[in-house]
Structure 1
Amino acid sequence: MIEFVIAVFFLLITPGPGVLTTAGIGAAFGFRAGFAFVAGLCLGGFITMMMVIAGLGAVVLAVPSLRVVLLIASVGYLIYLAFRIASAGTKIGFSPAKSPLGFTNGLLLQFINPKAYVVATTLFSGFAFMPSAPAWEITTKLLLFNAVWLPVHFIWLGFGTTLGALNLSNGVQRVINMAMAASMLIVVGVALLSLR
């Protein structure tokens, strides 16, 4: 069980579309503005986990044409988010957004977030610690996952808020935006490599 919690922590703390977007919202609009987005991410993440647990993720990925459509939608949306972050220029966050991404954006992001499916598949297909009671194992994993998931996302939201409040030079802000956008594009690259 300890190995499961450690795996959850490291899989979630690493940059992916959800945490990078959360940090960007915090930087651009503040901590409170990110609550609705994080709530959407949470519900979307729970639904994607349930899909993976139920085997629907495997069915979807088994149909090559559907997999390609989902991959194109995912890659397109992630590239769009990376562009929004990179084009913010000397202001950390999103540009030219007038309001933060909300609940619906967070919810929808999880359905096209390749990392969400990889994390769910890794965690729920491995780390068996109750082989004789699979329902209890799944329930325990869901509780432990969310006990780590929520603080990690609020840490990223706080990190983005702190960055947004600092009086950083224009050059430093531009570098941070480019690094966040590049991290998101790495996720895109990993998703594309998974097709091989």
Structure 2
Amino acid sequence: MDYLIAIVLFAISSSVTPGPNNITIMASGVNFGIRRSMPLFLGICVGFAVMLLLVGIGFGQIFEKIPTLHIFIKFIGTLYLLYLAFLIATADEITMSNTPAKPLTFMKGALFQWLNAKAWVVATGAIAAFTTVGVDFYTQNIIIALTFLVISFPCVGIWLFFGSTLKKRLKSKQHRKVFNYSMGGLLVISVIPVIKELSVQLTQ
């Protein structure tokens, strides 16, 4: 029981804190509302649980044997996050163009986890902290993944609801633009530690 409580507390603290997932879903809630953001919301929650399961099964071991592969994925992921920050910052401008902006899909939300540096840190940290090799290892992985799946819905959902609530208050295009630039800026700030780590790894 103590084991499960520990996982739940870890899942809550890591899922509800600011990061690329929550910033992205809040920005989507502001710009598209809850209903149109649901595919992205489900993609984030389900995608991270699947990622956790796969990391536990073997991806962590692969990266230990081929560290350059991990660096490559982290580099591509950082570029994608910076591009996503640009899309969030300019979302209001895109909405005003002739082609209506579209929220991210379920699949993009799920695949986004593999390019999300925070998701990697949380996934590897959870597997390292809450599994014991040789002692029902795969059962432990499934428990961790299911716990995060259940916990992520209310934790990420708070950010989506908050974004949707803000939408009612940010009726001014100028206010919406300021918000989007702020969210884009926060996403860039969340990537800075990864960029620093990458620069160290690439110069070694």
Both structures adopt the same fold (TM-score exceeding 0.5): yes
Alpha-carbon displacement from aligned partner over 1:56-90 (angstroms, at most 9, x marks no partner): 1342364344234312211111011111222246x
Instruction: Say which SS state the counterpart of residue 74 (structure 2) adopts.
Output: helix
2:195 match: 192
Q: Is the 8 A contact 1:87 1:95 kept in 2?
A: no
Per-residue deviation at 1:140?
2.5
Is the CA contact 1:27–1:164 (under 8 Å) kept in the aligned structure 2?
yes
Counterpart residue identity of residue 106, structure 2 = F
| Count, aligned residues | 194
Q: Choose the corresponding residue for 2:129, options 126, 130, 136.
A: 126
CA RMSD of aligned residues (A): 2.8
Aligned equivalent of 2:104, options 101, 106, 111: 101
- 1:95 is displaced (CA, Å) by 7.8
Structure 1 residue ranges without an equivalent (≥5): none
Answer yes or no: is the 8 Å Cα contact 1:84–1:94 preserved in 2.
Answer: no
The answer to whether structure 1 residue 179 and structure 2 residue 159 are counterparts is: no
Runs of 4+ in 1 over 6 A off after TM superposition: 93-96
With normalisation by structure 1, the TM-score equals 0.83
Asked if structure 1 preserves the Cα contact closer than 8 Å seen for 2:130 and 2:140, the reply is: no
Q: Is the 8 A contact 1:23 1:158 kept in 2?
A: yes
Are residues 1:163 and 2:166 paired? yes
Show structure 2 runs of 5+ residues with no match. none
Cross-structure match for 2:75: 72
Which of the two has greater helix per residue? 2
- Residue 140 and residue 7 in structure 1: after superposition, are their counterparts in 2 closer, same or farther (change >3 A)? same
CA contact (8 A) 1:24 1:94 kept: no
Change (3 A) 1:102 1:94: farther
**Residue aligning to 1:63:** 66
Identity %: 31
